[in-house]
Every structure is written in structure tokens, then in C-alpha cells.
Amino acid sequence: MAKLRRNAGAALADDASLRLRAAWLYHGFGRTQTEVAEQLGIGRSTVIRLLEDARQRGEVKITIEDLLPDLAELSIRLEQALGLDEAIVVPSVADGAGTARAVGLALGRLLSEAVVNGMSIGVGWGRTLTAALESFNPPRREGVKVMSLMGGAVETQFTNPFEFAWRLASALRAECFLFPAPLVVDTAETQARLMADGSIARLRTLAESLDLAVVSAGGLAERSGSLVRQLITEAEASELLAQGCVADIMCNFIDGQGSLIDHPIQKRIMSVGVDTLRASRHKVLASGGRNRAAAILAVVRSINVNTLVTDEHAARAILDLA
């Protein structure tokens, strides 16, 4: 898998967390400094500085004094269990909205460091992704393309698929490509006709060679606050759940193993498919909450996620499931 390397010129986000991850990998897991640098996506000289800082601060003695929760070790356990390049775990909070914001803020810091000149970025939707904009503060970039990988919602109580793509592109002063169609259409024939439209066909071609895909995971079983359940009927939701659906990726409905559910609704969704997402050079999944553990694990399996941003409660539940 391709590592999502950080911008060497950017300030390191959450220095304490990065120090502890480096210390766990080096002292706790016996990795070399070069291996630590490769896993964290930073230079070896930075690893040496982090390890020395940890020693001088008294964080490394006989054991590693992790004054935050044991999130560094939890991140590494997730990486090993799921075959990830990187897991970023934030402390859990009491409510769902707070969890979405905490995970989103961590995502924003990650993207601030990871976006480079000339990068093509495809994005999904959700409150977690929208929250990332609060902490997204990248240096000036050139030649970046940002595209929405799904149609828009005509009416929504929460957020619109177009919103994150547009605001991310604006922050980067990047070229922006929106998916000019409703997210859910009335018939399979309408979907086929719209997918053949020139502007959508061009967008789908661009999406086939993404440098970075950024998505979230929706749990279909959730009733309160579910974005997707605003767009489909209760009967369709019940049928999908009966067929083993545990998650959706941009309204691509999948089971616990990450396979697409065979249901007519799939032929009425205007978004890129899981095969297109899977072909991206690097896939970032940001989602949290213990109740979404099964959904997160399903999405990891479906598109071969490289980087997972989640919270402590979800992380522990994912490890139990995996």
C-alpha cells in the first residue's frame, strides 16, 4: 500500500500524540527508526527528535508513560489487525455529534499535512467530514483538483454531499468538480441515462485515478441522525437490513464482509462505485462511535482502507469484531 506522507514543511499536528506513537513503535514494538519513520510517514531525523523529546520529557522510562489514554498502542493494534498503513484514534466523547466533531478535527489536521501540489482528491459526505473543515489549514497548494464522488440531496436536515467538496476546494483554492445529479433517482433507467451524460462521464473518468479518496461510513441500522435514511424509504431500509446490510459508502450498500448488497436501490444511486474507490492510491476513512464499529469494519474490508481516523470506543469495538 502507498503511504500517505505528511508535508515536511508543515507543523506536526498533535506533537504529543506523534511522540507517543513513535515511542510505542520504537521501544514497545521493537521497530527500527527507519521503520518508525516509514510507518508514521515522516523523516528519520524527525523520529530521532521525537524519541529524544519523549526521553527528555520523562515519557519514556522503563515503560512508556502515556498520560493521554493508551491511544498510541490502540492505534498500532488497529493497524496490525486491519492491515492499515495508519490508524489515528482520538479520545471518545459522550454524544454522537461530539464524536463526529472530534474525529473530524483529527481528519482536518491530517489533510492539512497530507495534501500536496497536483493532487486529485475525491470526497464523500457526512457530518464527520464537514467537521474536518474547522481544523483544515493547509499551506498554499497548486494544481489540486477536488471532486464530489456522489450526487446531491434535494432536501436534507443535516449536510449536503456537495458541501464538503466545495468548501474543501475553496480552502485549497483548488479546481472543484461537483456531481451534477440528485443522489437518488426514481428509476434504474434514469440512473443509466444520467451516468452517460458527458459531464458525469468526465467526472467518473477523473475519479478512476484519484490520489486520495476521503469517505465516511454510515450505519444503516441507525434511525436517529442517519443521513442516508432521509433518502430511501423505510421499506427499502428494512429490505436492505434483512439482506445483511451493515453500512453504506456514499449510498453503496454493503454487508459485513464489504460486499455489495443485491438490491434494486443500488441501480438508482448516483455515485461512484466501490471499485472506483478501491482503485484510489490512498483511501482515508473517518468515522467514529461504538455503534458504527461494524459499519467501519465493513468499509475497511470493502475498499481496502489505508488510513482510518476514529475514536477510542469505536476502535475497541472494531478490534473485538475483527
- Residue spans of the domains in the chain: they are 1-68, 71-321
Q: What integer pLDDT is reported at residue 155 of this predicted model? A: 60
pTM over 0.85: no
pLDDT score, position 25: 84
What DSSP letter does each residue of 255-281 carry, written as one string? Answer: ETTSPBP--GGGGGB-B--HHHHHTSS
pLDDT at 7: 61
Q: C-alpha distances in angstroms, 21 versus 81, 201, 314?
A: 17, 43, 19
Of residues 105, 146, 147, the one with CA closest to residue 129: 105
Report the pLDDT value the prediction gives residue 126, as an integer from 0 to 100: 86
Strand order in the sheet with 175-177: 86-90, 307-311, 283-286, 212-215, 120-123, 145-148, 175-177
Q: 71-321: which CATH number, 3.40.50.720, 3.40.50.2300, 3.40.50.1360, 3.40.50.300? A: 3.40.50.1360
Q: Could you read off the pLDDT tens digit of each residue along the chain, which spans 322 residues?
A: 445 776 644 444 446 778 888 888 887 667 888 888 888 888 888 888 888 888 778 777 644 454 455 788 899 999 999 999 999 999 887 766 788 889 999 999 999 999 999 999 999 988 899 999 988 988 889 999 999 999 886 665 556 677 889 999 999 999 999 988 888 999 999 999 999 988 898 888 999 999 999 999 988 877 655 677 778 889 999 999 999 999 999 989 999 999 999 999 999 999 999 999 999 999 999 999 999 999 999 999 999 999 999 999 999 999 999 8
Helix segments in the chain, DSSP class H:
15-23, 33-40, 44-56, 71-82, 96-114, 127-131, 161-172, 188-195, 198-207, 234-242, 274-278, 293-303, 312-321
Instruction: Tell which CATH architecture fits domain 1-68.
Output: Orthogonal Bundle (1.10)
- What is the rounded (10 degree) CA torsion for 65, 71, 74, 75? -120
Q: What phi and psi, each to the nearest 5 degrees, are found at residue 166?
A: -65, -45
Residue 294: the pLDDT is 95
Is the fold of 1-68 the same as that of 71-321? no
Q: For residues 279 and 208, what is the distance between their CA atoms, to the nearest angstrom?
A: 7
The Cα 109–Cα 137 span in angstroms is: 7
Cβ neighbors of 197 (< 8 A, separation 6 or more) are: 180, 181
Residue 72 has what pLDDT? 86
The owner of cell 444511486 is 269
* The predicted structure's pLDDT at residue 6: 66
